Amino acid sequence: MPAEKTSNLKGVDRAAILLLALGEGDAAAILSHMGPKEVQELGMAMAGMTNVSTESMESVMRSFVDTLSSQTSLGLDSDQYIRNVLTQALGADKAGGVIDRILLGRNSKGLEQLKWMDSRSIAELIRLEHPQIIAIVLSFLDPDQAAEVLSEFPERARPDIIMRIATLDGIQPAALQELDEILEKQFSGASNVKSSSLGGVKTAANILNLVEGTIESSILEQVTSADQDLAQDIQDNMFVFENLIDIDDRGIQTLLREVASDQLLLALRGAEEGLKEKIFRNMSKRAAEMLRDDLEAAAPARLSDVEAAQKEILAVTRRLADAGEIMLGGGGDDFV
């Protein structure tokens, strides 16, 4: 990596530099506390690091020390605090499902183990289970992983699974017990759980957002044939690439800092002019000119490659939205 100001680096690159500086033992200990996605992202970033300057490393280390020194003990032993605050804010009925989703899902070792498995292995593990159990498992997974698992199922089975996810309204104790048997793990305190908020139209839409384009179209077509209203609800909740135009300018700028230039170039091949112009407007003049020139000079690309690049950018978009760094659909003034 050429010498550069670390303020221009992505967060994952700064973390990679820090781990490389710490050495094998300490880096391994830190990675052991992370989830599969974080480990994969950091591993890829670390593998891509070359020629890290002393100035860059020292800057990252100083930033880490400054951040660490500003931390407090807030958040320790906070389960009861979370329960009390959410119950007061939402009421006992509404808060119950939210609390279970946060605390029970976090402590679920069986489901966490699934997140470390490849999609084909997960599909093989649950393939012979009842479709409702399959829907529950996919609802617990992150949307991108659930989309990959869904793609491993036969075409005829996918619409039924999506419909079950969309109409899933919490998990009752009996269903939790059945899920426990599948994973050969026990949830902590599962016997005290009344219902866990899970699934729903939005979950189904998030998964469909991330499956391959032809699979998405086929599933929606078959769901429409079975239940037109449900299919419309799912489509209304889907966030597609063209919806990026509804994100405010500051959100677009945040997104562009997380997206590789070659990925953006490929994704914009199939974009409408309005979205392209919004992207250009939120880049530096030089970067926008270079991107325009690259788009004009680029050779034809396969539609499947373009759709894959768009879905990867959508995955980044949802991650940033979940972290509160951007707001989908606008919702604020534009910033330049």
Q: Which domains does the chain have, with CATH numbers?
A: 6-69 (no CATH), 108-237 (1.10.220.30), 242-322 (1.10.220.30)
**Tens digit of each residue's pLDDT (9 = 90 or more) over 47-67:** 777 777 777 777 777 777 666
Q: How far apart are CA 7 and CA 49, in angstroms?
A: 16
Q: How far apart are CA 137 and CA 131, in angstroms?
A: 10
Rounded to 10°, the helix 201-209/143-151 angle is 70
If you ran DSSP here, which 8-state letter would residue 299 be given? Answer: P
Whole-number pLDDT of residue 335: 32
Give SS3 for 250: helix
Share of the chain above pLDDT 90, in %: 12
Whole-number pLDDT of residue 188: 37
**Tens digit of each residue's pLDDT (9 = 90 or more) over 191-218:** 333 344 567 888 888 888 778 778 888 8
- The model's pTM is 0.46
Q: How far apart are CA 195 and CA 190, in angstroms?
A: 10
Q: How far apart are CA 201 and CA 209, in angstroms?
A: 12
**In which residue ranges of the chain is pLDDT below 70?**
1-8, 35, 37, 65-113, 172-198, 329-336
Q: How far apart are CA 334 and CA 330, in angstroms?
A: 8
